[in-house]
Amino acid sequence: MSLELEIDKRKTFGIISHPDAGKTTLTEKLLLFGGAIQVAGAVKNNKITKTATSDFMEIEKQRGISVATSVMAFDYKNKLVNILDTPGHRDFAEDTFRTLTAVDSVILVIDCVKGVEAQTRRLMEVCRMRNTPVIVFINKLDRDGKDPFDLLDELEEELSISVRPLSWPINMGRDFKGVYLLHNQSLNIFEASKTRKATDYTKVEDLSDGILDELVGERDANQLREDVELIEGVYEPFDESLYKEGLLAPVFFGSAVNNFGVQELLDTFIQIAPGPQPRHTDKREVEPDESKFTGFVFKIHANLDPKHRDRIAFLRVCSGEFKRNKFYHQVRLDKDLKFSNPYNFLAQSKNVIDSAFPGDVIGLYDTGNFKIGDTLTEGEEMMYKGIPSFSPEIFKEVINLDPMKSKQLEKGIEQLTDEGVAQLFRQDPGNRKYIGVVGELQFEVIQYRLEHEYSAKCRFEALAFHKACWMTGDKDKIDAFCQYRPKEIVVDKDGNRVYLASSPYVLQMARSNNPDVTFHETSEFKV
């Protein structure tokens, strides 16, 4: 098959949601409808249990499961669909943000009872930064939720994106009757079932047709007529190009656990979701159909077996064809590497592959050559952009508990932060090490892994910082600013100076007293 056809076949996306909205359930149902798995329950374990704060073995076990299911590929209607899993747990939010740099679109799951939630907002901010196209799935219609019009208003207001319903619910909760598909004028009648796979649609082109009253009852039929009239009056017809620009999100309603509304979501996704998109590097934009292979690492996962220190780097192919056993250029290290066992991920299994194409995500065994954001090319010196570090929210100092093992500790901290488990800052001058994370859980993971994988012991001492800010602007002004705050200025892993602000007020003051310096809360300022 030609490169163009391979590219045309692929759709790579992520499912995002606030924890508990139904991301895992929907992922599983998409795999079920896509024929990739035969029974429900296969993906269920792929999340860090909400209560797992101290059961380290459990974390380890779950990390293992998530390697296998971090990427799930399946064929559907002649397309190759790649779902990239994003951890729902808040403490792993940074991992999710980075995974979003490797997708071409997302499906956002909203719980109809809760509406837009904190994590939804943050994830959507990341999508908006990159103009990632979004399809919204409003879930749990079998429960009494918010009014659908209110939900749409909430989405528009809170997520700064226009929306357009493509299906519409008929009642909710115990009286939920189904959805009317506005784009092909048919009814999907609700039936609570966790096992059904096929969807029967009833064509109702004219809503004044009495068949509607027969199917859903007169009261609900009239309500639907009224609602649809309002929708057609208020919302512009769905414009696919606005969706592709990330400005307009089509909205579907359903109930994932009941396999309801999933078929139309998947069918529309296949039709409208963008294929592999061009991507920016620090030198130029790269088109997927360029003949030379390029790709970048967006995730690094430690090997589960502590006896083997090797890791798995997840690489998104951006252009050309990746080939097994061919030498590629690791730009940051200026080193040529070849991979004898690259693999892809098919639902539950891993398979060694001979080649991969734009949109694909492959796993590369890594013995310490990769850092998140690393780029592979056929020789061109350029780095992919858009893998930002977000400011951590909790900071602690690493205190070595075993002076005989300081080398191991150093190495462990270096490698774990390369994996993106946490961010490392150093005091300069000095060698105090600060770790910044999004959630407390990461400290436990780090401590556990340092001990088990590197035989190093440490404890963490809390630091009263609130945000890490990267600075740009007038160099002399930045120097002057840093000079007066030796305790608050640290250096990140790439050698950038970072200001640690102790409170929102202090940061605000720094901003207003230093108009020539810009303080950024992410390490990459333009993606």
- Residues lying near ligand G4P in the complex (CB under 6 A) are found at 17, 19-25, 47, 88, 139-140, 142-143, 255-258
Nearer to ligand G4P, 82 or 86 (CB): 86
CB of 334: closest distance to ligand G4P in angstroms? Answer: 41
**What whole-number distance in Å separates Cα of residue 257 and Cα of residue 300?**
31
Nearer to ligand G4P, 251 or 507 (CB): 251
Beta strand pairing status for 105-111 and 10-17?
parallel
CB of 263: closest distance to ligand G4P in angstroms? Answer: 14
**What whole-number distance in Å separates Cα of residue 482 and Cα of residue 41?**
53
* Tokens encoding 398: 């690493």
CB of 25: closest distance to ligand G4P in angstroms? Answer: 3
Residue type, 163: V
- Euclidean distance between the first and final Cα of the chain, in Å? 33
Nearer to ligand G4P, 145 or 373 (CB): 145
CB of 139: closest distance to ligand G4P in angstroms? Answer: 5
Nearer to ligand G4P, 117 or 451 (CB): 117
Nearer to ligand G4P, 192 or 333 (CB): 192
CB of 97: closest distance to ligand G4P in angstroms? Answer: 17
**What whole-number distance in Å separates Cα of residue 426 and Cα of residue 432?**
6
Nearer to ligand G4P, 85 or 418 (CB): 85
**What whole-number distance in Å separates Cα of residue 360 and Cα of residue 10?**
8
Number of H helices and number of E strands within the chain?
A: 14, 31
For 93, the 3-state DSSP assignment is helix
- Residue appearing with tokens 């956002």: 108
CB of 52: closest distance to ligand G4P in angstroms? Answer: 13
Nearer to ligand G4P, 255 or 391 (CB): 255
* Tokens encoding 169: 């619910």
- Residue appearing with tokens 């959805």: 179
Nearer to ligand G4P, 89 or 299 (CB): 89
What residues contact 170, with CB distance under 8 A and at least 6 apart? 176, 177, 178, 179, 180, 216, 220, 223, 224
CB of 16: closest distance to ligand G4P in angstroms? Answer: 9
CA distances to 32, 101, 316, 468 from 371, rounded to whole Å, are 34, 15, 14, 21
- The DSSP H or E segment spanning 344 is strand 343-346
CB of 102: closest distance to ligand G4P in angstroms? Answer: 20
